[in-house]
Amino acid sequence: MSKVQIVEVGPRDGFQSVGPFIPTETKIDLLQSIFSAGIRRVEATSFVSKSAVPQLADAEAILLAANQLQGLDAQVLIPTERQAVRAIDAGAMHLSFVLSVSDSHNYSNVRRSTSESIEEYAAIMRMMPVGARMRLNIATAFDCPYDGRVDEEVTTSVLKRILLAPLPNEIALCDTTGRVTPDHVSTLFEKCQRLFPEIDDWAFHAHDTYGLGTANTLAAWNAGVKIFDASVAGLGGCPFAPGATGNVATEDLVWMFEGMGVSTGIDFQSLLTVAHRVAALDGAQTGGRVRDAMSATCLL
């Protein structure tokens, strides 16, 4: 039976979009519920400026709780070398560094040029603890909220520069705006896998802004990708990408893949219960279709 790995990014990418502070205890309880539903890889939090993203100011406490769940692969997002040091000091062994192909978005996101972020990535790779892993997120790989569609040659040229540094364990191409279409997803992944055979694992991070999150995920799957980011209840969206209103919903991907006979290892009904809890959070901006469909009453 074919398998995919779904990386639950709700506790980071989802929660960061919520205005009212979610109590740390609630975050930990939801993290434990996600784990109980069978999810074994989670982007648990992000080590970022507490003033810029106050929702994630409790990163150390969240990582500590995540590390206590035996069998959970807890990755944490880090945008700079300074925050990488903070994450490592807190016990992170799976880092997720993000940089944008687009200088415009990179400046908006981390106040640095893409070239400066590439240099920081190389510095972080040189200081990684023994046994630690690195995922590299390539934001605006397909489209930029400021510059529009990103040419594939631009994305691959940035990757060529990045891969002069030590190789990451995995590279995720990110549809930051949700405006990409399935054909673009397929062609870029096929091109990257052909140009960079030294990378064993590729991942896809989809947004569902235009309702194409599952279609784009399927396009990546058909191109050979086996690792997909998703957020329970479709919670979240990039605060530095205007209009990117939501991640593809985890329950939508589980429904799709399991229906195709592709194993996710996730208990759908347990996940659906968590999704309803997340959707009820104060200030939550949610999406997806399966959750509502499963709750609807069919009238004939």
Q: Which residues are known catalytic residues? A: 238
**CB distance 253 to 228 below 8 Å:** yes
Residues 6+ apart with CB under 8 A from 163: 196, 198, 199
Q: Are 235 and 14 in contact (CB under 8 A)?
A: yes
Residue 14 half-sphere exposure toward CB, CA atoms < 13 A: 34
Contact 136, 121 (CB under 8 A): yes
Alpha-carbon distance of 186 to 208, in angstroms, equals 17
Both tokens of 290, joined, read: 């399966």
Which residues pair with residue 230 across a beta bridge? 8
Residues 6+ apart with CB under 8 A from 112: 80, 106, 120
Strand partners, 172: 137, 203
Helices 213-222 and 182-195 cross at an angle (nearest 10°) of 30
The DSSP code for 11 is: I
State the burial class of residue 147 (Cβ atoms within 10 Å of its Cβ: 0-12, 13-18, 19+). middle
Q: Which of 73, 99, 94 is nearest to 5 (CA)?
A: 73
If phi > 0 it is left, if psi is from -120 to 50 it is alpha, else beta; for residue 299 that is beta
